[in-house]
Amino acid sequence: MLPKRLQERPLPEEFARKLLVHSTNAKSGSLATGELHEVYSPYFSAPLGHVGVGSVEDVEKAFELARHAQKQWQERPIAARARVIKRFHDLVKKHSDLLADIVQLETGKDRTAAYDEVLDVMNNARYYANNAEKFLATSSKAGAFPVITSTTQQRVPKGIVGQISPWNYPLALGVSDAIAALIAGNGIVAKPDWQTPFSNLIALHLLLNAGLPHNLFQIVTGSGTVVGQAIAQRCDYLMFTGSTATGKLLGKVVGERLVGYSAELGGKNPMIISPDADVAKHADTIATACFSNSGQLCVSIERIYAHTEIYDEFLHAFKAATEKLTLGTGLNWNYSMGSLINQDQLDRVTAFLEDAVAKGATVVTGGKARPDVGPYHFEPTVLTDLGPDTDLETEEVFGPVVYVQRVESLEEAVELANDTNYGLNASVFGATETAERLAWQIETGSVTINDGYAATWASISTPLGGVKESGMARRHGPEGMTKYTEVKNIAQQRIMPMRGPKQLPRKYYGQLMTTALDLGKKLKFLP
């Protein structure tokens, strides 16, 4: 039996043991005999719990177990694999409060942001379980020539997918991508960030209760340099969400092995405010776009370009909307913005702010840590008048700090929006015709009109990801599942060989094929 709710205290010992037993560290014996890592919560000073410090040997054990289980799993019909995920969906719904509690205890985020993770898992589970047979079906394709050639496309699982997930959305990013890989017939070896391992472990617990074969999904807790590197050196495909710097390092590892790679990396996401934007209507939405999860969100907005015609009106409304956000703590719905995850993140945000102020920036609102609320709380902060060479003008803060810049034209706004090495998400507020025109010009993987990011993220039927140094490949949509497969082309020749009857002279064969291809272009009877 799982508890219905948790409290702001260390995890109950029996509950923690029930989760830890699912880790490869426990299966290998290293959890009992090796070094332990204490996990802390932003809510209290005592350890929330502990996990094992994984080794290369633990990772090797994980791949050994997962590969054995995966061979049988891939033989199950797609519909049977999807049924497991449908049952998992229902268990996530049943235990939604418990899942949100674990996320909050590990991250300190507000309840809304924690529950967003629960909803994301349910969204992915429903979508891929309902559509897997369509996305993965063996299908007939047009052959080289009608009648004499038939071609079949088969999708084969990659094998074992490695997954390295971050701390900011530990439940959603710890299992939502894995759902598609599992239904596609793969096994998983995962490394959660060891600041937030229990969100990943509880998801695995529910998957097993839903009927997922034991050992198919392995979780190895440990450091990125040891466990993450070892996974990248052994997996058949790697899914990574995290910083651009780490993504590049992992890309080198899998690139040398010619292994597929999907990565969602950093961003410096822009927003454009057009003169025809309805600022009064959207001010609260814009504040949410910037400060959800205390800004610790890869797709959140960090820079805003407001047209001079609406700049003053916008800044006034945005300031007011930001100041309405309430800081808080605890496993409840009574506040709109929670904690940063730890002291390092608080120090990072503080350093960016101090650099900006030292170089001439004006603090419109916010700008202070709030130890009276919690040890890592920081006020939602709006800046203007950035000076030259301000660090946060181009670098990702990953915290509740955004700057607003006046622009003389929408062309200037687009130019500034694109003047970055990143290209993950962007947002445009304005009348439909204006906003759509701007959206086509912005160089990002997604653009959200009259919203910050939620509309694009939740539209799961459409692939989502970054361009430039914000990533490669996509999650969501058919590609979010088919990327975990290899395409096999099975062609069958009938009636006669592709080079024609053996009695046909080679010269005539060449002339015949040239004529056939020319007619195929004109009459469009060839693929």
Q: In the prediction, which pLDDT does 511 show? A: 87
Give the C-alpha separation, 2 to 14, whole Å.
10
* CA angle, 123 then 127 then 133, to 5°: 160
Segments of the chain with pLDDT less than 70: none
DSSP 303: E
Task: Tell whether 253 and 309 lie within a shared domain.
Answer: no
Asked if 245 and 289 sit in the same domain, the reply is no
Could you tell me if 240 and 404 are in contact, meaning their C-beta atoms sit under 8 angstroms apart?
A: no
Spatial separation of the C-alpha atoms in residues 26 and 35, rounded to whole Å? 12
Please check whether residue 289 is in contact with residue 297, taking contact to mean a CB–CB distance below 8 angstroms: no
Contact 57, 222 (CB under 8 A): no
Give how many domains the chain has, as a whole number.
Answer: 3
Specify the CATH number for the domain of residue 55. Answer: 3.40.605.10
Q: Can you tell me the distance from the alpha carbon of 467 to that of 146, in angstroms, rounded to the nearest whole number? A: 39
Residues 252 and 274 in one domain: no
What token pair was written down for 7?
A: 């409290």
The pLDDT of residue 372 is 98
- The range of the structural domain enclosing residue 521 comes to 502-526
* Residue 226 within any structural domain of the chain: yes
pTM exceeds 0.85, yes or no: yes
Distances (CA, A) of 272 to 277, 430, 454: 10, 8, 16
Task: Please report where in the chains the tokens 């003169």 appear, as a residue.
Answer: 275
One domain for residues 168 and 253 = yes
Is-catalytic flag, 412?
no
Q: Which two tokens stand for residue 411?
A: 């062309």
Residue pair 301/288 in contact (Cβ under 8 Å)? The answer is: no
User: DSSP string spanning 312-330?
Assistant: HHHHHHHHHHHHH--B--S
Residue type (1 letter), 198: F
| Whole-angstrom distance, CA of residue 350 vs CA of residue 353 | 5
pLDDT of residue 337: 98
Residue with tokens 């096994």, as numbered in its chain: 187
Catalytic residue among 38, 106, 117, 264: 264
For residue 117, tell me if it sits in a domain.
yes
Q: What pLDDT does 525 receive?
A: 81
Distances (CA, A) of 433 to 428, 437, 494: 11, 6, 54
